Chain A
Amino acid sequence: MKNILKSGLVVACLLSANACSLEPVVDPNFPSVGSVTSNATKAQLNGLAVGQIALARNGLQTYTWVVGTLGKELFNFNGTESRWMTELNGTRPIDNSAFYNTATTGHGLPIRQADILIAAVDNTSSATATEKNAYKGLANTFKGLAALYQVNVQFRNGIRLNVKDPLNPSKFSTYEESLKGIAAFLDEGATQLDGAGTSFPFTMPSGFLAFNTPAAFKRFNRAIALRVAIYQQDWAKAETLLSQTFLNEAGNLDAGPVHTFSASAPDFANPMINTTSQIIMAPEKIVQDAEAGDTRITKKITTLASPRTYTSGITYASRYQSIKYPAGDTPVPIIRNEELILIAAEVATQRGRTTDAVRFINIVRNAAGLPNYTGAQTQAALVDAVLKERLYSLWYEGHRWVDMRRYGKISQIHLPVAGMSVLEQLQRPNTEVNWDVFAGN
């Protein structure tokens, strides 16, 4: 027994000798979030700002396809995933745990990015007050945009407006409160951009070439705020905002900031292009209902020699295939002059300025190779006219479902297959529901 005691002592000595030698392993693969949250350098802040712009594309594909499918403006003929055609079209129960909930949750990360950027700016001395305003203005603008996408999908479920502490987020606000909160993010961003000097402290990526000063970027910020205002049906505020945006009656209808893509890492290719397994099709009805010679159709949709038939879980055929995003580096517009002109038409309609409304409608129609609007000039008729032009002008940009919903016209959406229906909103994601149960909200 003595021997064992002795060897035990030897062991103990060995161990105490290297007791301090087990050092923590520093992450060999990535920088840490902690490295930017205090005393961030200018380079780090610039990195976060570029990250903010890159992240604005998070969830974009799923969002656009989900709201497009819900609004029956497009179908995703995805041969390896029939839920695009079944669950999202109402032929099977909707699932709040499925992949397509990214349409809501994918916009969480840009919001977190904005909160991290703002916190980093507030906790460093390496930027001037003006520069700080520039970073924050950028952050709040993208935060507002991401939150708006979220509430579009969730609608009456509302969203969480304060998620600065991910482990203690606010409760869900109502739809109206959510829109109000989003407007506040955007307004705060606009104010900050006003105090941001004449240039950004970082190089604006190429998709924002025409918006690369705080003043120009604010026009983009106001354009998003304008979207919020018409969702709120606050036509007076919308009228005020119109002039602060980049609306240009005589300008290129495609003018506006875009998401750019590149297949080379750390960037990625446009995820919305058609491949063998994911093919975006237009419902036959939309193309057939278009006026003859509408160049908006021919620009975005090609007609196949024979119909493409989808047979997984649901059977539907269409001859009309999207050519909107033909290549991996095709940019995706965030908001375009064409949308602003149609919003101007809508605002004019709602404010009773019929002549203005028709004038704006005709700008868009003429550009599409169509004659002037000749329909009735009642408010109801003009609303329908605006909705129709928005369908063709903004096809595959994620508006149809929201537009029909805000005018209570969801039941008018054409259902090409018996058994299909239009959901008014997606269910609140399972993980969001569970969090509230957990947190006792």
Chain B
Amino acid sequence: MALFMGLCFLAWLPVQAQTKTVSGKVTATDGNALPGVNIIFKGGTVGTVTDVDGNYRLSLPSETGKLVFSFVGYLAQTLDVPASGDLNVVLAEDLVGLEEVVITGLATNVKRSNLANAVTSVSAKELMGTTSPVTTDGALQGKIAGANIQSNGSMPGGGFNMQFRGLSTLGASASQPLFIVDGVYIDNSQNSTGRSQANKATGGSAASTQDNNANRLADLNPDDIENIEILKGASAAAIYGTRANAGVVIITTKRGKGGKTKISFGQDLGISSALSFYGGADWTEDKLTKYFSANEIPALRAARQNGTYTDWERVIFGGTGQIRNTRLSVAGGDEKTKFYINGSIADETGIVKNTGFQRYSFRANVDHKISKIFEVGMSSNYVYSNNDRGWAGNDNSYVNYGYSIPYTKPFYNLYPDAQGNYPDNQAGVGENPLAIRDRAINNQKVNRFIQGFYLNINALSKENMSLTFKATGGLDYQNGYALTYLPSDLQSQRPEANPGFAQDTRVEVTNYNMQFAGVFTYAAMENKLNLTSSAGIVQLGTIGRENYVRGRGLPAGISNAARGRALEQDVALRENTDQGFFAQQEANFDDKIIAAAGVRFDRSSLNGDPSKWYAFPRGSLAVNVANFDFWNKNIVSQFKLRVAYGETAGLPNFGTLYSRLGVEGVGGQAGFVPSTTLGNVKIGPERATELEYGFDFGLFNGKISGEVTFYNKKVYDVIRPLLTAPTTGVASTSINAGDMTNTGMEVSLGADVIKNENFTWFIQPIFWFNRTKITRLIVPQSLTGGFGATFGQWRIKEGESPTQIVGQPRPVAGDLNSWTIYGDQQPKFELSLNQRITFLKNFEFSMLAHYRHEFTVVSLTRVLWDEGGNTYNWNETNESGNPAEPNGIYRQQVNGLDENGKPKPGYNPVLTSFLKIREIALYYRVPTATLSKAFGKVVSGVRVGVSGNNLFRWTDYTAGYDPENSNFGSAALGSGVDIGSIPAVRRMMFHLAVEF
């Protein structure tokens, strides 16, 4: 981006008198030539870029002065014009991104070294350089200080819950950050498919958080991404107003840089497999007699005799998934027009047969300079994604194999006969998981257009001032369709009044946003003081439509929902419009003191009063102490103190305003019935303020650098349902009910431990934690989430953390608000360590380890396995401590804390930690010399490598497959519930990348 803007800038420089010519070569630390480096004569208006071999030649207007060498991803250098001879320059890689430009306003940006907020940037290399994650959110796990990114499960296609700096809502507003791709506000919702109606996990309603779907960020091809910026809190995101409470993720996709047309081809081939299994307890006649039913002994004997005794968990979850990703991009252009096009196919099958994710993405980004005044550009992305999500998670009809396998005994046969008929499972289990795997359908497809545009008008461009008008906006249109299907002759369906289930769901979501802004820059005091003023207006909106037909009582072999005997259908509409305007003033004194202040005003039709404006001020100050003259830069080369304050808000969810009268029928007539939820026409947004402060430092000329940040994010007027006495017929009404605070600390360090021509070792440890506390609550304390206090729920209580998990037993008998505290869903702290080692010039090894310390999981997975008698250590007695009582029986009777205050190994919540090797890779770059010998000038780069994703894991979690499961999808509260899960998955890949 910087290069692109630099080139634009260079193109309109006026011709000046030339008095001297300087030339030389620019190389990287590894000795390779750097083409495309920007060289500017400081204070003047001349400049150039290096050619393919890194050489440059520049005519200067004076004999002396300074030259600035800059290149994306490298630390800029300012050097004196030599009296004579060549000026050769070696640029060091900018490992912590001091030079990168960070988008801070709606129309302006600032250099990282001048930034007052801890804005995390993730480059394409950091995102995709190690391994190929399926989705963008998955690729961010462990890479962002202050982020809690949790995978909801391991089905292909992702499904992630992303929380920045603790909690910004308690569920009544957007729980996920705002995603902006090239200026387009994109949809990241999870669209319901009706699966939890098919398996009765929930009753009735159209939308459910228990469908375990992918969030729609999965549609974005991570390979298209040039850079991601994460505005974690209100102080950084204030200019985004009412949409920014959960943070803002700004994604910039790759664009053409001009010059020689560059063709890049990439291919990944890989496999995935289960990280662990959970069952396998042996079955004996004695076990059946004592704890199950002696009637099953003949079946056990027969299976032993015939050799058909089978571990069904390994049959279903022991498969190998295949990964095939192909990418082809072409980038290039001339001075006027630049383009980037990318076509990619991501194709991944899961460890369970008939699950998988395919994404076909096509992108074209075009920038064109009409004249010195007008620039236009667009970003077009079409995506088709196709996801078979399988059947895992909560269930009330034994349909999900994640739920039936824990109960399925190894001595019952499940394999189909020669005619393809699946035998019934044991009556008490109720369904054959193989039949579900092979015959049931849970498919979701999405067709999506994301279209962004911009028009820049350079109204005024003088040496010390400029005025630019920027019109930006875009459209995100998605049309999704889903089919959920259970054939009518399945064991679980036959006893139903109307056997068979099919739901055909159509989802159409249109998001649009438009912005018009003006930016005025002015340089004063001999260019030492730079002032940037910006102001603009914004409008955005969403129109959503979900239709479904649900058919029960299906004819044999028919999956068309409309053919059902008993039909239900629904049309659910939503729409909202937001308007805002903003103004911001930034001042930079010689890169020493950088200050900014701004304000945004917003209103939205989601608020009780749609015409009311809410104000969101911000202010920030950064002082680059090391840039002052008194500072000795020998040891501490960079030292910046920074403080920032800002306010944002989160809007009430659609529908909060309405007291609905539903329709229920009886005896062939339809009647009106009220909803148990009362609308609140006085509802207002949840408002957050955040004070963030900290310091950045660099030692030994940037060899060691660090960023230390503290924050205090307060959320006011948090919307909570006022849980009314339900015997009144009203269960709740949403009100602005309380306040909470999030305090935390984020530390990122980076160090070149070893750096020489043959060996470099870079390490980047990140440490962060967050504590949330409800400071005011005007509604009664309540339990929410989960499946009741027996297994653990979230307690919303003043003075406590909202992510605290409590449950039975009651420490004070008879006190109906007395609960055992099992810890907090938020970890005590998180730690990650990124390492990159290059050796033998062309080899690169990298590894990302991620540790999460002591967080609480509500697990029902072990409960299911224990009830089924299959848990791996069911037969052992080490936990019961009684040789006559197997663990599996013991745990079903036990809950509470032990004498050390640790949760017992019963059906209660679990306190756990994990260490995962998120990413690990080894790459080899074929030397340029070898390439030119083999292919001449045709092939400019070849890189091959192997990588792994979640390859290793250590955890003390024994209550299920993996502590990272979430049955309830992406939610601020109540997401960490492990039930009916499938094993966590490790992925291994081979990579080939070729550049032409």
In the complex, the answer to whether B782 meets A32 with C-beta atoms within 8 Å is: no
Q: Is B61 an interface residue (CB 8 A)?
A: no
Partner of B671, one of A11, A51, A310: A51
In the complex, the answer to whether A79 meets B430 with C-beta atoms within 8 Å is: yes
Contact digits for B203-226, partner A, Cβ 8 Å, 1 yes 0 no: 000000000000000000000000
Given contacts A313-B892, A434-B780, contact A267 B664 (CB under 8 A): yes
Partner of A53, one of B657, B671, B675: B671
In the complex, the answer to whether A8 meets B295 with C-beta atoms within 8 Å is: no
Contact digits for A199-228, partner B, Cβ 8 Å, 1 yes 0 no: 000010111100000000000000000000
Counting contact residues on chain A (CB < 8 A from B), the size range is: 35 or more
Partner of A167, one of B566, B579, B611, B724: B724
- The segment from B532-540, B763-771, B836-844, B848-856 found at the interface with A is B532-540
Contact digits for B429-447, partner A, Cβ 8 Å, 1 yes 0 no: 1110000000000000000
**Smallest beta-carbon distance B633→chain A, Å:** 35
Residues of A within 8 A of B884 (CB): none
Q: Is B789 an interface residue (CB 8 A)?
A: yes
Binding site for B on A (CB under 8 A): 1, 3-4, 7-8, 11, 14-15, 18-20, 22-25, 27-36, 44, 47-55, 57, 77, 79-83, 87, 92-93, 95-99, 104-105, 107-113, 115-116, 150, 159-160, 163, 166-167, 169, 203, 205-208, 259-260, 262-270, 273-278, 306-313, 315, 317, 327-329, 427-438
- Chain B residue, CB-CB nearest to A429: B726
- Chain B residue, CB-CB nearest to A164: B728
16 contacts between A and B (CB under 8 A): A3-B467, A23-B605, A25-B605, A32-B679, A47-B670, A50-B666, A81-B396, A83-B788, A105-B726, A110-B729, A112-B728, A160-B725, A167-B733, A169-B725, A267-B668, A308-B427
In the complex, the answer to whether B611 meets A275 with C-beta atoms within 8 Å is: no
Q: Is B32 an interface residue (CB 8 A)?
A: no
Query: A55–B817 Cα gap in the complex (Å)?
Result: 31
List 20 additional A-B contacts (Cβ < 8 Å) besides A15-B579, A24-B657, A311-B291: A22-B579, A27-B655, A29-B655, A30-B660, A44-B672, A47-B671, A50-B665, A80-B396, A93-B809, A93-B810, A160-B727, A169-B725, A203-B669, A275-B492, A311-B428, A429-B727, A431-B782, A434-B781, A435-B780, A436-B725
Within 8 A of A (CB), among B719-764: 722-731, 733
Partner of A109, one of B575, B581, B729, B788: B729
Query: A113–B572 Cα gap in the complex (Å)?
Result: 24
**Smallest beta-carbon distance B346→chain A, Å:** 35
In the complex, the answer to whether A262 meets B668 with C-beta atoms within 8 Å is: yes
Contact digits for B149-167, partner A, Cβ 8 Å, 1 yes 0 no: 0000000000000000000
Partner of B669, one of A109, A205, A428: A205
Contact digits for B837-872, partner A, Cβ 8 Å, 1 yes 0 no: 000000000000000000000000001000111000
Query: A330–B581 Cα gap in the complex (Å)?
Result: 61
Binding site for A on B (CB under 8 A): 200, 291-293, 295, 395-398, 403, 407, 427-431, 460, 467, 469, 491-492, 495-498, 518, 520, 522, 533, 535-537, 552-553, 565-569, 571-577, 579, 581, 583, 603-605, 610-611, 655, 657-676, 678-679, 722-731, 733, 779-783, 787-790, 793, 808-810, 816-817, 863, 867-869, 892-893
Residues of A within 8 A of B200 (CB): 277
In the complex, the answer to whether B666 meets A57 with C-beta atoms within 8 Å is: yes
- Chain B residue, CB-CB nearest to A276: B430
In the complex, the answer to whether B670 meets A266 with C-beta atoms within 8 Å is: yes
**Smallest beta-carbon distance B31→chain A, Å:** 48
Partner of A435, one of B428, B430, B725, B810: B725
Query: A47–B669 Cα gap in the complex (Å)?
Result: 9
In the complex, the answer to whether B610 meets A22 with C-beta atoms within 8 Å is: yes
- Chain A residue, CB-CB nearest to B797: A434
Query: A107–B676 Cα gap in the complex (Å)?
Result: 11
Which 6 pairs across A and B sit closest by C-beta, in order of nearness?
A112-B729, A328-B497, A205-B667, A50-B671, A51-B671, A263-B566
In the complex, the answer to whether B817 meets A434 with C-beta atoms within 8 Å is: yes
**Chain B contact residues, majority secondary structure:** mixed
Partner of B552, one of A49, A263, A267: A263
In the complex, the answer to whether B577 meets A22 with C-beta atoms within 8 Å is: yes
**Smallest beta-carbon distance B194→chain A, Å:** 14
Residues of B within 8 A of A110 (CB): 729
- Chain B residue, CB-CB nearest to A208: B667
Query: A266–B605 Cα gap in the complex (Å)?
Result: 30
Query: A166–B726 Cα gap in the complex (Å)?
Result: 9
In the complex, the answer to whether A166 meets B808 with C-beta atoms within 8 Å is: no
Residues of A within 8 A of B808 (CB): 92-93, 95
Most buried by B among A27, A113, A429: A27
In the complex, the answer to whether A53 meets B295 with C-beta atoms within 8 Å is: no
In the complex, the answer to whether B581 meets A15 with C-beta atoms within 8 Å is: yes
In the complex, the answer to whether B725 meets A277 with C-beta atoms within 8 Å is: no
In the complex, the answer to whether B816 meets A430 with C-beta atoms within 8 Å is: yes
In the complex, the answer to whether A207 meets B788 with C-beta atoms within 8 Å is: no
**Smallest beta-carbon distance B706→chain A, Å:** 37
In the complex, the answer to whether A36 meets B789 with C-beta atoms within 8 Å is: no
Given contacts A79-B398, A97-B783, contact A104 B727 (CB under 8 A): yes
Given contacts A29-B572, A34-B659, A116-B674, contact A166 B498 (CB under 8 A): no
Given contacts A167-B724, A269-B497, contact A96 B816 (CB under 8 A): yes
Given contacts A80-B396, A80-B403, contact A433 B817 (CB under 8 A): yes
Partner of A113, one of B674, B731, B789: B674
- Chain B residue, CB-CB nearest to A314: B892
- Chain A residue, CB-CB nearest to B572: A29
In the complex, the answer to whether A159 meets B780 with C-beta atoms within 8 Å is: no
**Smallest beta-carbon distance A120→chain B, Å:** 10
Residues of A within 8 A of B810 (CB): 93
- Chain B residue, CB-CB nearest to A312: B867
Given contacts A111-B729, A429-B726, contact A33 B660 (CB under 8 A): yes
In the complex, the answer to whether B788 meets A276 with C-beta atoms within 8 Å is: no
Query: A80–B202 Cα gap in the complex (Å)?
Result: 13
Given contacts A4-B520, A93-B808, A112-B674, contact A166 B724 (CB under 8 A): yes
Given contacts A53-B666, A54-B671, A309-B428, contact A36 B661 (CB under 8 A): yes
Given contacts A163-B728, A311-B867, A328-B497, contact A207 B667 (CB under 8 A): yes
Query: A328–B869 Cα gap in the complex (Å)?
Result: 34
Residues of B within 8 A of A15 (CB): 537, 579, 581
In the complex, the answer to whether A22 meets B605 with C-beta atoms within 8 Å is: yes
- Chain A residue, CB-CB nearest to B579: A22
- Chain B residue, CB-CB nearest to A205: B667
Residues of B within 8 A of A276 (CB): 397-398, 427, 430-431, 491-492, 495
Partner of A437, one of B579, B669, B817: B817
Residues of A within 8 A of B678 (CB): 166
**Smallest beta-carbon distance A181→chain B, Å:** 13
Residues of A within 8 A of B809 (CB): 93
In the complex, the answer to whether A51 meets B429 with C-beta atoms within 8 Å is: no
**Smallest beta-carbon distance A438→chain B, Å:** 4
**Smallest beta-carbon distance A80→chain B, Å:** 5
Residues of B within 8 A of A429 (CB): 726-727
Partner of A50, one of B407, B670, B676: B670
Partner of B603, one of A22, A262, A273, A312: A22
